[in-house]
Chain A
Amino acid sequence: MKADVQERPEVAGVAHAGSDRVIGDVVLSVENVSLAFGGVKAISDVSFDIRKGEIRAIIGPNGAGKTSMLNVINGFYHPNQGTITFKGRKRSVMRPYIAASQGISRTFQNLALFKGMSTLDNIMAGRALKMRRGLLWQALHWGPALSEEIKHREAVEKIIDFLEIQHIRKAPVGKLPYGLQKRVELGRALAMEPELLLLDEPMAGMNLEEKKDMSRYILTVNDQLGTTVALIEHDMGVVMDISDRVVVLEYGRKIADGTPDEVQRDQRVIDAYLGISH
Chain B
Amino acid sequence: MVVFGQFLEVLIGGLLAGVLYSLVALGFVLIFKASGVFNFAQGAMVLLAGLALVRSLDFMVARGIPTWAAIVLALMFAAVVMAITAALIQKFVLGPLVNQDGLSLFMATIGITFVIEGAGQMIFGSDVYPLRLFPTDAWFILGGIFDGGLLVSKIDVWGGLIAGALVAVLAIFFQRTKTGRALRAVADDHAAAESVGIPITWIWFVVWLVAGLVALTAATVWGTKLGVQFSIVFLALKALPVLIIGGFTSVPGAIVGGLIVGAGEKIAEVYLGQLIGGGIEYWFAYVLALAVLLVRPQGLFGERIIERI
Q: Contact between A192 and B196 (Cβ–Cβ < 8 Å)? A: yes
Known: A117-B188, A175-B306. A125 touches B177 (CB 8 A): no
B198 close to A (CB within 8 Å): yes
Interface size of B by CB at 8 A reads 26
Contacts of A138 in B (CB 8 A): 176-179
**4 tightest A-B CB contacts, nearest first:** A100-B197, A112-B192, A114-B188, A96-B194
Q: Contact between A192 and B188 (Cβ–Cβ < 8 Å)? A: no
Beyond the given A100-B194, A116-B184, please list 8 additional residue pairs across the A-B interface where CB-CB is below 8 A: A100-B195, A100-B196, A108-B195, A112-B192, A113-B188, A116-B187, A117-B181, A129-B196
Contacts of B177 in A (CB 8 A): 135, 138-139
With beta carbons under 8 angstroms apart, the residue of B173, B176, B198 that contacts A97 is B198
B residues 254-295 in Cβ contact with A at 8 Å: none
Q: Contact between A114 and B178 (Cβ–Cβ < 8 Å)? A: no
Q: Contact between A121 and B181 (Cβ–Cβ < 8 Å)? A: yes
A115 close to B (CB within 8 Å): yes
Q: Contact between B185 and A117 (Cβ–Cβ < 8 Å)? A: yes
Q: Contact between B178 and A115 (Cβ–Cβ < 8 Å)? A: no
Q: Contact between A135 and B192 (Cβ–Cβ < 8 Å)? A: no
Q: Contact between A113 and B189 (Cβ–Cβ < 8 Å)? A: yes
Q: Contact between B306 and A105 (Cβ–Cβ < 8 Å)? A: no
> How far, in whole Å, are A174 and B179 apart by their CA atoms in the complex?
22
With beta carbons under 8 angstroms apart, the residue of A113, A116, A175, A191 that contacts B192 is A113
With beta carbons under 8 angstroms apart, the residue of B182, B197, B303 that contacts A101 is B197
A206 close to B (CB within 8 Å): no
Q: Contact between A114 and B189 (Cβ–Cβ < 8 Å)? A: yes
**A residues neighboring B (CB under 8 Å):** 74, 76, 95-97, 100-101, 105-106, 108, 112-117, 121, 124-126, 128-129, 131, 133, 135, 138-139, 141, 174-175, 188-189, 191-192
A-B contact pairs, 30 of them (CB 8 A): A96-B194, A97-B198, A97-B199, A100-B194, A100-B196, A105-B195, A108-B195, A113-B188, A113-B189, A113-B192, A114-B188, A114-B192, A115-B189, A116-B184, A116-B187, A116-B303, A121-B181, A124-B181, A125-B185, A125-B193, A125-B198, A128-B178, A128-B181, A135-B178, A138-B176, A138-B178, A138-B179, A139-B176, A141-B176, A175-B306
B2 close to A (CB within 8 Å): no
B220 close to A (CB within 8 Å): no
Contacts of A126 in B (CB 8 A): 196
With beta carbons under 8 angstroms apart, the residue of A101, A135, A175 that contacts B179 is A135
Contacts of A116 in B (CB 8 A): 184, 187-188, 249, 303
> How far, in whole Å, are A125 and B188 apart by their CA atoms in the complex?
12
| Least distance between A1 CB and chain B CB atoms (Å) | 27
B191 close to A (CB within 8 Å): yes
Q: Contact between B192 and A108 (Cβ–Cβ < 8 Å)? A: yes
Known: A139-B173, A139-B177, A175-B306. A125 touches B182 (CB 8 A): yes
Contacts of B191 in A (CB 8 A): 76, 96, 108, 112
> How far, in whole Å, are A277 and B242 apart by their CA atoms in the complex?
66
B residues 105-149 in Cβ contact with A at 8 Å: none
Q: Contact between B195 and A112 (Cβ–Cβ < 8 Å)? A: yes
B26 close to A (CB within 8 Å): no
With beta carbons under 8 angstroms apart, the residue of A100, A125, A189 that contacts B181 is A125
> How far, in whole Å, are A114 and B189 apart by their CA atoms in the complex?
6
| Least distance between B193 CB and chain A CB atoms (Å) | 8
Q: Contact between A117 and B184 (Cβ–Cβ < 8 Å)? A: yes
B200 close to A (CB within 8 Å): yes
Return the chain B residue nearest A117 by Cβ. B184
Return the chain B residue nearest A124 by Cβ. B181
> How far, in whole Å, are A125 and B200 apart by their CA atoms in the complex?
13
Contacts of A188 in B (CB 8 A): 192, 196
Contacts of A115 in B (CB 8 A): 188-189
| Least distance between B18 CB and chain A CB atoms (Å) | 27
Contacts of A191 in B (CB 8 A): 196
> How far, in whole Å, are A124 and B126 apart by their CA atoms in the complex?
48
B309 close to A (CB within 8 Å): no
Bitwise, B183-215 to A at CB < 8 A (1) or not (0) is 011011101111111111000000000000000
Contacts of B188 in A (CB 8 A): 113-117
> How far, in whole Å, are A114 and B198 apart by their CA atoms in the complex?
13
B172 close to A (CB within 8 Å): yes
Known: A117-B184, A125-B185, A139-B173. A96 touches B178 (CB 8 A): no
